[in-house]
Amino acid sequence: MPPADAPATLREQQLRLTRHLRDPDGQPAPGGIEDRRLQVYRDLLFNNLASLLAGNFPVIRKVLGDDGWTALVRAFYRDHRCQTPLFPEVPREFLRYLETTPGITPAFLPELAHYEWVELALQIHEARAPATVDSMDDEASLLDRPLTVSPLAWPLAYRWPVHRIGPAFQPDVPPPEPTLLLLRREPDGTVRFSELSPLAWRLLERIGAEPALSGRDHLLALADEAQASGRDGFLAQGAALLRQMLAASVIHTGPASRA
């Protein structure tokens, strides 16, 4: 017969084992297990985690080098408590760790991690782009229709120039202007990044926030924000930008509003 406290004893042994596997240098190994066997588990678990994260964050891996990367993954493995058991969510948990841990260096690391993670996030996103109204007789019809941003096109804004950071370029301070990017998924599943002008980024931000408004509404509001001297010229420039976005499936149109 097992002792009455067997479940509690087993649980304590399991906790001691997992604490040791997370932090071999700081937590003693449970008794009764040969260290050679423990080493197999220590190496297997940590190396699998490091390999998974290196595949999702290759730029960070190169920027930090072998020792820095190993130390960062070890700290994540030791200190972070994941909120999900799903294996594909581990990179998101790593990002969450970087975003919530004080004193992470280099300072650009959390944003660089987001830039690397978001590509995977869009690749596995289950959303589908809505159908666009096909007839586009003239520019006025585009301007008069309500617009929406495709769920497969994500405008992004960063303090750091994340798309340029690498082993040869590691800035100490962020530039005065933000880095504005567009991430979009093509019909074949390819994910692409492109830079956005401030006007394009703000236009997408407005469309995302107020999808019931027409293209004309958005552009006139932006003209007021920019205090544009020539509203007609601003409207023409904005309409050309909307046509480009529509052609690239970054935005979609609904039926024209009826007076």
At 28-67, the pLDDT tens digits run 766 667 667 777 777 778 888 899 999 999 999 999 999 9
What pLDDT score does 139 carry?
A: 56
The residue with greater pLDDT, 92 or 42, is 92
- pTM for the model: 0.83
Per-residue pLDDT for 10 more than 60?
A: yes
Mean pLDDT to the nearest integer, 21-32: 70
Residue range 139-253, CATH number: 3.90.930.50
The average confidence (pLDDT) of the chain is 85
d(CA 17, CA 120): 32
Kind and range of the H or E run holding 139:
helix 139-143
Is residue 241 within 8 A of residue 199, CB to CB? The reply is yes
Kind and range of the H or E run holding 209:
helix 198-209
**CA distances (Å), origin 109, targets 5, 120, 215:** 47, 17, 37
d(CA 34, CA 36): 5
What pLDDT score does 135 carry?
A: 47
| Domain limits, CATH 1.10.150.690, in the chain | 34-123
| Domain limits, CATH 3.90.930.50, in the chain | 139-253
Say which residue the tokens 């920027």 belong to. Answer: 63
Helix, strand, or coil here: 87?
helix
Q: Does domain 34-123 have CATH number 1.10.150.690?
A: yes
**CA distances (Å), origin 248, targets 83, 129, 186, 208, 242:** 36, 12, 9, 16, 10
